[in-house]
Amino acid sequence: MDIFVKYLGVVITGGLICVIAQILIDKTKLTSARILVLFVVSGVFLSAFGVYEKIKDFGHCGATVPLVGFGHALYQGVVKAIDEMGFRGIFTGGLPDVAGGIVMAVFFGVIASLVSKPKSKKP
């Protein structure tokens, strides 16, 4: 029963993040890129105020996989780097903690570009 509750938390958390994104897409004139940036920055701010840890404890990978989780990972990397390197950590700290995700995004982007056929967008 305990595993069911964890899965339910994952589905609820990830689903709510997707619902928020869909509402922003449908009801605002924000571009996809701005919504993505908004999600990353939201993850940073929620982490800074201590809210995202509670969300992550409930939602596990439903909270860490979406872009809000990417912002949280950036924040944690910067905090750790500031503790180790001081002020300089602000500029370099986020990258080591998210480097794997960035590399995989580039890798799968290259694979997708090799196997897909480009199409022009029609207005």
Tokens of 112: 């997708």
Tell me the one-letter amino acid at 58: F
pTM here?
A: 0.77
Residue 119 is classified by DSSP as: -
Tokens 């605002």 appear where? 28
Tokens of 60: 């596990």
CA distance 38 to 32: 10
Tokens of 93: 């700290």
* Tens place of pLDDT per residue across the chain (123 aa): 688 888 999 999 999 999 999 999 999 999 888 999 999 999 999 999 999 989 988 988 888 888 888 888 888 888 888 888 888 888 888 788 788 888 988 999 999 989 988 777 676
